[in-house]
Amino acid sequence: MSKEDYLRLMYKICEEQGLEKLSDMWIKKVDIAQKMNISKPSVTQMMNKFAKEDLVKIDSYSKVFFTNKWLKLAKKITYNYRIIETFLQKTLEYDSLDKIREEAHKLEHAFSDEAIQRLDNFLWNPKVCPHWDKINKNIS
């Protein structure tokens, strides 16, 4: 799993829990492992890397708390991914949500910030992606 996969999934979990304020955003390592279908030691290894990058803080109870740096990066990655998903569905007419997810995963690393902004404008600033997740343009 890539760094982007972790960040996007962690952000999605916070969204699903209705968490909007950074001070309320935290997650257990076991929840990440279950959602990604990977081992807890793999999650711990990535969270330790994230801690070194000042993206997260980890407590002794395996809770992961997020930093401002994490929130900004997670929002940006999620925004980019959802714009690409929307482009695949609306413009290229992909109809399988699994295929959209698969293709968006491949493409998210290839698009520049400028290209994403142009796609967003081209798509008339969509509010939700094909999975009905909110497209949050407020990245700062």
In the predicted structure, residue 25 carries a pLDDT above the cut 90: no
Residue type for 7, please? Answer: L
Is the CATH number 3.30.500.10 carried by domain 3-71? no
d(C-alpha 92, C-alpha 100), whole Å: 10
| pLDDT (0 to 100) of residue 140 | 63
Domains 3-71 and 78-122 share a fold: no
Q: Which CATH architecture has domain 78-122?
A: Orthogonal Bundle (1.10)
Domain boundaries, the chain: 3-71, 78-122
**Strands of the chain, DSSP E:** 26-28, 56-58, 63-66
pLDDT for 79-133, tens place per residue? Answer: 999 999 999 999 999 999 999 999 999 998 899 999 999 999 999 999 999 999 9
The residue among 1, 4, 2, 56 whose CA lies nearest residue 29 is 56
Q: Is 99 helix (H, G, I), strand (E, B) or coil?
A: helix
Chain-centre distance of CA 90, in angstroms?
A: 21
Query: What is the model's pTM?
Result: 0.90
d(C-alpha 98, C-alpha 119), whole Å: 21
